[in-house]
């Protein structure tokens, strides 16, 4: 479970960053999305380390 949750977070972060850079997702929504994904992950004991803070890339850059 730990490896899977870290891999999921990494993949979600990468896809979210790409969406923000292309202008498909607002930075405020990207932060909310990552916060929600972390909240779900924290419901499962043994899911690994706490989520890293998320700072989205430049919007539409």
Over residues 2-55, the pLDDT tens digits come to: 556 678 888 999 999 999 999 999 999 999 999 998 888 666 655 556 778 899
DSSP state of 50: P
Distance CA 13, CA 55 (A): 10
pLDDT at position 60, please? 92
pLDDT at position 31, please? 96
pLDDT at position 47, please? 57
pLDDT at position 11, please? 92
């Amino acid at each position: 479970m730990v490896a899977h949750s870290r891999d999921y977070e990494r993949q979600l972060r990468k896809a979210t960053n790409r969406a923000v850079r292309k202008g498909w997702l607002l930075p405020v929504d990207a932060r909310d999305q990552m916060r929600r994904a972390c909240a779900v992950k924290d419901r499962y004991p043994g899911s690994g380390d706490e989520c890293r803070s998320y700072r989205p890339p430049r919007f539409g850059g």
